[in-house]
Amino acid sequence: MSFLVRLPRDRYESDAFERFESSAFALGSARATMWLSQLAYEDKRPKIESVLSDWGLTLVRSFGAPLLTMLPIASTAGIVATGKGRLFVSFKGTDPLVIANWITNFDFIPDEDMHRGFAAALDSVWFKISDVLAGADLPVVLTGHSLGGALAVLAARRMEKDLRRSPESVYVFGAPRCGTQAFADAYDATLGMRTYRFVHGNDIVPTVPPPEIDFHHVGRVISCPADGRFAAANLSDGPSDEPAFAQVLWDATRDGLFRLLFGQVLPPGIADHLPDRYCRALR
């Protein structure tokens, strides 16, 4: 993980969970879960525990496993925490410096209606979190940024199928599509109205894989302009497949990576995807 996804200890806002609300959608809950998604990128246990303590949460378990798929990332990881009368599971996302590789080298073939690479990523850690989920007598909130958001969605569906229970809510940020139309229909039938997808600016990741090859989003979407703020009024009334795949944006982002190699700025499609941009848009 690079400096683009890890933050100095003093950058973590101590009041992140002050406006967390139970059950129904709230921007205060979105802010809290986005900060928890940010924390999942960290790998130093004392730092994680210290930040969680500021938020009134306690670390239950950190998890991780090597990821043996075509996705060019090293591992699947995250944290399980408790507090506020909830059990929170936050999945680590992907370092933006390697996003270019996996948006152009997706293991696209679906496996039981799910993105095969993402399904394998969840499989690698499911046994490490399913026992906690099954044994917890608390409402469960799932969250994640980037790839972590896709894993949160898959985990929500797997909770229903394997554990016969549903999460209270699923908050995901800058997440890619992770299943076919059949997957989206089955997911939205039970979880669509309690799943909230956030899209900041020209973030390229939520546009892929494209719907033209039968990948579709789940849940309700809320978006904001680059460097703008999310507003509750912009939450869709029901499940949505937005944003559309943007070939021009994809090409511009891919081309911009060459500039990055020579020390120039991140292209907008990647810059708008950074986790700190999402945190800032929820202040």
Domain 9-281, what architecture?
3-Layer(aba) Sandwich (3.40)
Can you give the pLDDT at residue 248?
44
Task: Report the SS3 class of residue 109.
Answer: coil
Inter-residue contact 209 to 215 (CB < 8 Å)? yes
* DSSP strand pairing (75-83 vs 58-66): antiparallel
Can you give the pLDDT at residue 116?
77
Inter-residue contact 138 to 82 (CB < 8 Å)? yes
Can you give the pLDDT at residue 264?
47
Helix (H) or strand (E) holding 188: helix 181-191
Other C-beta atoms within 10 Å of 104: how many? 12
**pLDDT digits 0-9 by tens, 77-133:** 999 999 999 999 999 998 776 665 555 445 556 667 887 778 888 998 999 999 999
Domain ranges of the chain: 9-281
Inter-residue contact 195 to 168 (CB < 8 Å)? no
pTM of the full structure? 0.91
Can you give the pLDDT at residue 250?
56
Other C-beta atoms within 10 Å of 121: how many? 27
Can you give the pLDDT at residue 136?
87
Could you give the count of Cα atoms lying within 13 Å of 82 in the half-sphere of its Cβ? Answer: 10
The residue ranges of the chain whose pLDDT is under 70 are: 1-2, 66-75, 97-111, 246-266
Can you give the pLDDT at residue 261?
45
Can you give the pLDDT at residue 99?
62
